[in-house]
């Protein structure tokens, strides 16, 4: 089967690259093995959150100071602002409305109540532009009875630490109570499936209105809008006080919705999305990949002019660690990782961990290497890349979006 | 250190690889509509840890699992979640006697043989309200369901009378596993396949012996019978592949998935040597076209707008691509690819009275998206999806092979492939 570009991996970076290429008229196939880690995303994108443990205020300035092996440095610090704008409008075209800009980070609120620097946040989720000027003084934190994926006390404590006056209120409705029969399934994504009808939303709104009292803002967990944001907007219209959502523990409704929206947009542009299939091997002839084989299409390899590795990091199996080594399992391209296993991790789970920076080695155009030689038509994008640390630097989603767009430009031969 | 650690999986279903990420729970169509079912993570890998300690931890709500495999498709870690659930069910229920209703529903070929003999009577009677009420109350087959109409002439009878003798006229040969639906309910699909293959210069042959693939038998706990029939089928398929050098084509995604993927897992039937030779006709044809071995020429005046529904088992096989790309070759066909959603019927599941409401609730998202697509008809590779969508949307549903056969310019295709009939 012949394509212009074959992308291995159907998460944030793979879909973004696929959309950018399909928009320009390319025939693109994405091989997506299972759902992606985008389902863990609570509704924010980060460009660069921290350097050496210090929060970054102006990401574009901080990016210029990153070391040469960071993916942003390979793209070129001067292009980041432009690519960031492009990413924001691509997301909006897919129906993902986010606020923020690359000139100045804002703060997102984690499910544990911690404020972290962010670049973009869904416009119906709570965010703080300036910690010295909170968007509200008194907030009502609405806690859903029987819902465990929101550590409410920690969240309230965190919000109070930021300077909010927080009133915790517990509520339920008949629809929510019915769900409690299966406590292990009482998750954000299950709530989102049941809170869809106008009457169910009205019952939630009645509770919020009667409990809110005299506050400036009502916060509730992000448990609405599995397919689109209609349910969220409907509830916001029914609640008298300004209503904003707070990220929940994963799987997150916002992430699930963004994944579906991007996939839908990619298909609308004529893209081929092979759901539940995975790239298993490829053939490399000299300096070029000539085909990719997948688990499901077996003896019918996918052929293309360009190939993109967007298979993610360890959790998505784009990288594999066994007892001996860290490797890239599809094409066996070179990885940047310590050979000595003792150096992969260090004591203290919250300490910076070396393995978080591991990934495939690339040249300055993000092309993969095999035994030190550049493979001309194989680019790597997103979490599979080495030289960045989504956990400690807060650059994971930004690297996914921007490397995807940069590679789409080089595949199309843009300057 | 390595010697003291478990290096490889011990399970065959990747049980050990579950990271508890819960992504499977976001796609389960059953958990989405009922709180009675604990969801794939709890029913699968989580529950399995307890069941490994003591089988008494088996939870009877596991029978609510549709075996749609959407959890497996979504799993980022390759855990065979539905296999874990189905195998647990099998361990807990093997040897139990199935109810009369379940036995009847599961024996699609027995039911078909009887019904073909008395097709006009059966069709009329099965459609009558009194009959439906009796079935509903006595048999617990839901009154909203209508059994698919039975054909007066079986496909195999038609084939022997009208097609068999012509099947040595062409250069290439394939076998066809038609399945119960084509044989008893809808011979036209089989006829369409013969028409299509013949136009491309391929002779179609039946297997030495074909029995119901047993997908409904497995779902209803009749494992012994399923194993017996499965062995017969694989023996016949093996003869076709090794003795006659003929690939075995199919037109039903569920029969195909069952024979390729469920036989070894659920029935312990070794099919490794012939698995690759059992293939949906759309996959076989697409590859011939892709490799430039055949050409398909379609009618100039064909014009239609259709939606394609990916059946759950089709998605598990990852083969929807072949059907979609083949249909996209038809110039006059405007094809809308629907988001993959479960239709809710899952073979015999939706026919059971206790499941009817759940079945319709599961399918509601799909029915809505079909309505919004504003199409004349729907295409899908699964016959039970067809019944469900036809009943629930009122639109006609066709197999992609029938769509291709209808749109095909037979003479031009024969000419383009240099097919000369030599008899």
Chain A residues with CB-CB distance to B340 below 8 A? 275
- Output the pLDDT for position B367: 97
What band does B100 get if pLDDT is binned at 50, 70 and 90?
confident
Q: Is A291 on the interface with B (CB under 8 A)?
A: no
The residue from A215, A246, A277 where one domain ends is A246
Does A27 contact chain B (CB < 8 Å)?
Answer: no
Q: Look at residue A359 and tell me if it is in a domain.
A: yes
Residues A260 and A407 both lie in one domain: yes
Cβ-defined contact of B76 to A250 (cutoff 8 Å) = no
Kindly list the distances between the CA atom of residue A378 and the CA atoms of A366, A372, B6, B148, in Å, as whole numbers in the listed order. 9, 14, 35, 51
Alpha carbon distances (Å) from A300 to A285, A320, B277, B393: 18, 26, 14, 36
Q: What is the CATH number of the domain that holds A89?
A: 3.50.50.60
Residues A380, A269, single domain; the answer is: yes
Contact B50, B88 (CB under 8 A): no
B353 part of a folded domain = yes
Q: What is the mean pLDDT of residues A333-358?
A: 95
**For residue B386, pLDDT beyond 80:** yes
CB contact under 8 A, A39 and B35: no
Do A190 and B31 count as a contact with CB atoms less than 8 A apart? yes
Please judge whether B318 and A323 are an interchain contact, meaning their C-beta atoms are less than 8 angstroms apart: no
pLDDT, one tens digit per residue, over A368-413 is 999 999 999 999 999 999 999 999 999 999 999 999 999 999 999 8
Which of A246, A268, A288 marks a domain boundary?
A246
Nearest CB to A251; choose among B26, B38, B72 = B26
* CB pair distance less than 8 Å for B25 and A33: no
Q: Establish whether this prediction's ipTM goes over 0.85.
A: yes
In a domain, B66, yes or no: yes
* Inter-chain contacts counted by CB atoms under 8 A, chains A and B: 101
Q: Of A250-259, B51-60, B275-284, B363-372, give the lowest mean pLDDT range.
A: B51-60
Do the chains contact at A182 and B2, CB–CB below 8 Å?
no
A276 vs B: CB within 8 A? yes
Query: Whose structure tokens read 């409904």?
Result: B216
Domain extent, residue A200, equals: 126-246
Check CB contact of A36 with chain B, cutoff 8 Å. yes
Bridge pairing between strands A50-51 and A28-32: unpaired
pLDDT (tens digit per residue) in A25-66: 999 999 998 889 999 999 999 999 999 999 999 999 999 999
| Helix H or strand E segment including A378 | strand A373-380
The torsion angle over the Cα atoms of residues B182, B185, B188 and B189, rounded to 10 degrees, is -40
B274 contacts B238 by C-beta, under 8 angstroms: yes
- Of the residues A205, A224, A246, which one is the last residue of a structural domain? A246
Residue A39 sits at the chain B interface (C-beta within 8 Å): yes
> Where a domain ends, among B45, B65, B93?
B93
Q: Is residue B312 part of a domain?
A: yes
| Contact: A323, B7; criterion CB under 8 Å | yes
CB within 8 A of B25, min separation 6: which ones?
A185, A187, A189, A190, A251, B31, B39, B40, B41
Write down the pLDDT at residue B12. Answer: 84
Domain end marker among B32, B63, B93: B93
The residue assigned the tokens 């004529």 is: A270
Residues from chain B that touch A300, judged by Cβ atoms under 8 A, are 287, 290
Distance from CA of B181 to the nearest CA of A (A): 26
Query: Does the beta carbon of A132 lie under 8 angstroms from any beta carbon of chain B?
Result: no
* Better pLDDT: A113 or B169: A113
Specify whether A138 is located in the same domain as A233.
yes
Q: Hey, are the CB atoms on A35 and B26 less than 8 Å from each other?
A: yes
Q: Does residue A115 fall inside a structural domain? A: no
Confidence of residue B422 (pLDDT cuts 50, 70, 90): low
Q: Vertex B318, ends B9 and A43: CA angle to 5°?
A: 80
Give the mean model confidence (pLDDT) for residues B332-344. Answer: 94
Q: Closest Cα partner for A368 from A405, A399, A331?
A: A331
Number of domains in chain B: 2
Among all residues of chain A, which has the CA nearest to that of B71? Answer: A34
Numbered residues of chain B with Cβ closer than 8 Å to any chain A Cβ: 1-2, 5, 7, 19, 21-23, 25-27, 31-32, 35-39, 41-42, 46, 72-78, 276, 287, 290, 315-319, 321, 325, 337, 339-340
Query: What pLDDT is recorded for position B1?
Result: 47
Q: Is A258 exposed, middle or buried (0-12, 13-18, 19+ CB in 10 A)?
A: buried
Structure tokens at A324: 């001996």
Distance CA B386, CA B146 (A): 13
Nearest by CB to B38, from A35, A178, A184: name it: A184
* pLDDT-based confidence at residue B124 (cuts at 50, 70, 90): confident
- Tell whether B181 is covered by a domain: no
Helix (H) or strand (E) holding A83: helix A80-93
- Closest C-alpha among B71, B153, B399, B117 to residue A185: B71
pLDDT tens, residue by residue, B404-415 = 999 999 999 999
Which residue of B26, B38, B289 is the best one to mutate when testing the A interface, meaning the one whose CB has the most A CBs within 10 A?
Answer: B26
Nearest to A256 among B26, B46, B315 (CB): B26
Quick one: A217 and A292 in the same domain?
A: no
Distance of CA A312 to the CA centre of its chain: 11
Extract the tokens encoding A59. Answer: 């990401």
Mind listing the pLDDT tens digit for each residue in A198-239?
Answer: 999 999 999 999 999 999 999 999 999 988 899 999 999 999
Distance, in Å, from the CA atom of A346 to the CA atom of A281, rounded to the nearest integer, reads 33
A108 falls within a domain:
no
Task: Give the nearest chain A residue to B73 (CA atoms).
Answer: A276
B348 falls within a domain? yes
Is residue B423 in a domain?
Answer: no
Nearest one of B345, B337, B383 to B362, comparing CA atoms:
B345
Question: How many other C-beta atoms are found inside a 10 Å radius of the C-beta of residue B280?
Answer: 26
Any domain includes B130: no
Rounded Cα distance between A380 and A362, Å, is 7
Buried b (16+ CB within 10 A) or exposed e, A385-399: bbbbbbebbbbbbbb
Contact A189 B72 (CB under 8 A): no
Min distance B325 CA to chain A CA atoms (Å): 10
pLDDT (mean) for B77-85: 94
**Mean pLDDT across A58-82:** 97
Do the Cβ atoms of A182 and B316 come within 8 Å? no
- Whose tokens are 């003479």? That residue is B411
Rg (CA), chain B: 22
Cβ contacts (< 8 Å) between A2 and chain B: which residues? 290
Residue A25 touches chain B, beta carbons under 8 Å = no
A239, A276: one domain: no
Can you tell me the distance from the alpha carbon of A14 to that of A30, in angstroms, rounded to the nearest whole number?
Answer: 7
Residue A8: phi, psi to the nearest 5?
-95, 110
Q: Min CA distance, A261 vs chain B (Å)?
A: 11
Residues A185 and A291 in one domain: no
* CA angle (A409 as vertex; A406, A410 as ends), nearest 5: 90
User: Does residue B49 lie within any of the structural domains?
Assistant: yes
DSSP secondary structure letters along A209-246: HHHH-S-SEEEEES---SSSSHHHHHHHHHSSS-EEEE
Instruction: Measure B23 CA to nearest chain A CA, in Å.
Output: 6
Residues A279 and A360 in one domain: yes
- Asked, for residue A120, whether it belongs to a domain, the answer is no
Question: What is the Cα–Cα distance from B147 to B136, expressed in whole angstroms?
Answer: 12
Asked if A22 and A270 touch (Cβ cutoff 8 Å), the reply is: yes
Stretch 210-229 of chain A: residues touching chain B, C-beta under 8 Å: none
Q: How many residues does chain A have?
A: 415
What's the whole-number mean pLDDT along residues B347-351? 83
Closest-CA distance, B119 to chain A, in angstroms, reads: 40
% of chain A exceeding 90 in pLDDT: 90
- Taking 50 as the threshold, does the pLDDT of residue B300 lie above it? yes
* Per-residue pLDDT, B6: 65
Give the CATH number for residue A225: 3.40.50
Co-location of A263 and A407 in the same domain = yes
A50-64, A348-362, B32-46, B51-65: which has the minimum mean pLDDT?
B51-65
Q: Does pLDDT of B187 surpass 90?
A: yes
- Does residue A268 share a domain with residue A216? no
Reduced to 3 states (helix: H, G, I; strand: E, B; else coil), residue B160 is helix
Q: How many structural domains is chain A composed of?
A: 2
Residue A6, φ and ψ in degrees, nearest 5: -110, 125
Supply the range of the domain harboring residue B350: 304-407
Name every chain B residue with its beta carbon within 8 A of the beta carbon of A315: 19, 21, 76
User: Nearest Cβ partner of A187 from B7, B25, B337?
Assistant: B25
Q: Percentage of chain B surpassing pLDDT 70?
A: 96
Check whether residue A347 and residue A376 sit in a common domain: yes
Confidence of residue B5 (pLDDT cuts 50, 70, 90): low
Among the listed residues A391, A384, A343, the one whose alpha carbon sits nearest the alpha carbon of residue A360 = A384
Closest Cα in chain B to A11: B76
C-alpha span between B224 and B216 (Å, rounded): 13
Please answer whether residues B125 and B149 qualify as being in contact, where contact means their C-beta atoms are separated by less than 8 angstroms.
no
Domain co-membership, A145 together with A214: yes
Gap from B286 CA to chain A (nearest CA, Å): 10
Residues A291, A368: one domain?
Answer: yes
User: What is the token pair recorded at B338?
Assistant: 């629907």
Backbone phi, then psi, for A61, in 5-degree steps? -70, -45
Instruction: Among A33, A267, A300, select the one facing B287 at the smallest CB separation.
Output: A300
Distance from first CA to last CA of chain B, Å, rounded? 72
């Amino acid at each position: 089967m012949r394509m212009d570009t074959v992308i291995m991996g159907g998460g944030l970076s793979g879909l973004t690259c696929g959309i950018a290429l399909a928009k320009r008229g390319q025939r693109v196939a994405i091989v997506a093995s299972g759902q992606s880690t985008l389902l863990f995303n609570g509704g924010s994108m980060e460009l660069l959150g921290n350097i050496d443990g210090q929060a970054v205020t102006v990401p574009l300035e901080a990016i210029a100071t990153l070391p040469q092996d960071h993916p942003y440095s390979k793209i070129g610090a001067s292009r980041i602002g432009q690519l960031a704008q492009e990413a924001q409008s691509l997301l909006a075209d897919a129906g993902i409305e986010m606020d923020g800009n690359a000139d100045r980070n804002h703060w997102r609120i984690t499910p544990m109540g911690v404020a972290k620097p962010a670049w973009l946040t869904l416009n119906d989720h709570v965010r703080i532009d300036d910690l010295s000027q909170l968007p509200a003084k008194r907030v009502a934190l609405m806690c859903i009875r029987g819902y465990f994926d929101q550590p409410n006390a920690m969240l309230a404590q965190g919000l109070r630490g930021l300077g909010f006056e927080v009133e915790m209120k517990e509520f339920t409705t008949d629809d929510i109570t019915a769900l409690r029969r299966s406590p292990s399934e009482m998750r954000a994504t299950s709530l989102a499936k049941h809170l869809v009808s106008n009457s169910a939303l009205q019952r939630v709104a009645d509770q919020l209105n009667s409990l809110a009292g005299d506050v400036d803002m009502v916060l509730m967990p992000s448990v609405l809008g599995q397919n689109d944001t209609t349910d969220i907007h409907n509830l916001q219209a029914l609640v008298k006080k300004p209503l904003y959502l707070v990220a929940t523990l994963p799987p997150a409704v916002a992430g699930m919705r963004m994944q579906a929206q991007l996939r839908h947009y990619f298909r609308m542009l004529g893209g081929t999305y092979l759901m539940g299939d995975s790239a298993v091997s490829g053939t490399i002839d000299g300096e070029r990949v000539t085909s990719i084989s997948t688990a499901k299409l077996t003896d019918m390899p996918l052929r293309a002019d360009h190939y993109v590795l967007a298979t993610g990091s360890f959790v998505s199996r784009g990288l594999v660690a066994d007892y001996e080594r860290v490797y890239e399992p599809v094409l066996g391209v070179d990885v940047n990782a310590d050979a000595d296993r003792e150096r992969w991790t260090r004591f203290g789970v919250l300490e910076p961990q070396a393995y978080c920076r591991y990934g495939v080695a690339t040249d300055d155009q993000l092309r993969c290497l095999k035994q030190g030689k550049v493979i001309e038509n194989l680019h790597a994008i997103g979490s599979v890349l080495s030289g960045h640390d989504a956990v400690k630097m807060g650059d994971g989603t930004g690297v996914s979006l921007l490397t995807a767009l940069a590679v789409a430009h080089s595949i199309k031969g843009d300057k | 250190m390595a010697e003291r650690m478990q290096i490889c999986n011990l399970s065959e279903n990747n049980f050990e690889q579950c990271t508890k990420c819960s992504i499977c729970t976001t796609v389960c169509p059953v958990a989405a509509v009922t709180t009675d079912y604990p969801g794939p993570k709890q029913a699968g890998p989580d529950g399995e840890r307890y069941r490994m300690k003591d089988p008494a931890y088996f939870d009877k709500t596991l029978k609510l699992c549709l075996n749609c495999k959407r959890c497996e498709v979504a799993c980022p870690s390759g855990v065979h979640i539905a296999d874990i659930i189905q195998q647990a069910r099998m361990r807990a229920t093997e040897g139990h006697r199935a109810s009369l209703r379940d036995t009847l529903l599961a024996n699609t070929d027995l039911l078909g043989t009887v019904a073909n003999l008395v097709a006009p009577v059966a069709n009329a009677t099965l459609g009558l309200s009194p009959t439906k009420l009796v079935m509903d109350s006595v048999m617990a087959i839901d009154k909203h369901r209508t059994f698919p109409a039975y054909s007066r002439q079986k496909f195999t009878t038609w084939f022997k009378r009208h097609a068999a003798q012509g099947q040595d006229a062409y250069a290439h040969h394939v076998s066809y596993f038609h399945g119960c639906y084509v044989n008893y309910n809808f011979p036209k699909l089989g006829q369409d396949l013969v028409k299509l293959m013949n136009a491309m210069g391929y002779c179609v042959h039946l297997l030495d012996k074909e029995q119901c693939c047993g997908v409904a038998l497995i779902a209803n706990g009749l494992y012994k019978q399923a194993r017996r029939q499965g062995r017969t089928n694989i023996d016949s398929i093996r003869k076709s592949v090794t003795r006659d050098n003929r690939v075995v084509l199919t037109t039903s995604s569920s029969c195909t998935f069952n024979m390729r993927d469920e036989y070894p897992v659920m029935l312990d039937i070794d099919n490794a040597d012939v698995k690759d030779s059992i293939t949906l006709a759309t996959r076989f044809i697409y590859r011939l076209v892709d490799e430039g071995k055949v050409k398909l020429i379609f009618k100039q005046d064909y014009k239609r707008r259709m939606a394609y529904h990916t059946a759950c088992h089709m998605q598990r096989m990852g083969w929807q691509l072949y059907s979609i790309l083949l249909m996209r070759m038809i110039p006059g066909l405007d094809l809308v690819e629907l988001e993959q959603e479960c239709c809710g019927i899952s073979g015999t599941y939706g026919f059971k009275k206790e499941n009817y409401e759940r079945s319709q609730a599961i399918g509601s998202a799909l029915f809505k998206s079909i309505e919004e697509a504003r199409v004349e008809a729907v295409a899908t590779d699964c016959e039970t999806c067809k019944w469900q969508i036809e009943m629930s949307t009122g639109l006609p549903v066709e197999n992609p092979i029938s769509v291709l056969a209808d749109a095909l310019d037979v003479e031009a295709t024969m000419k383009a492939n240099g097919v000369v009939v030599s008899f």
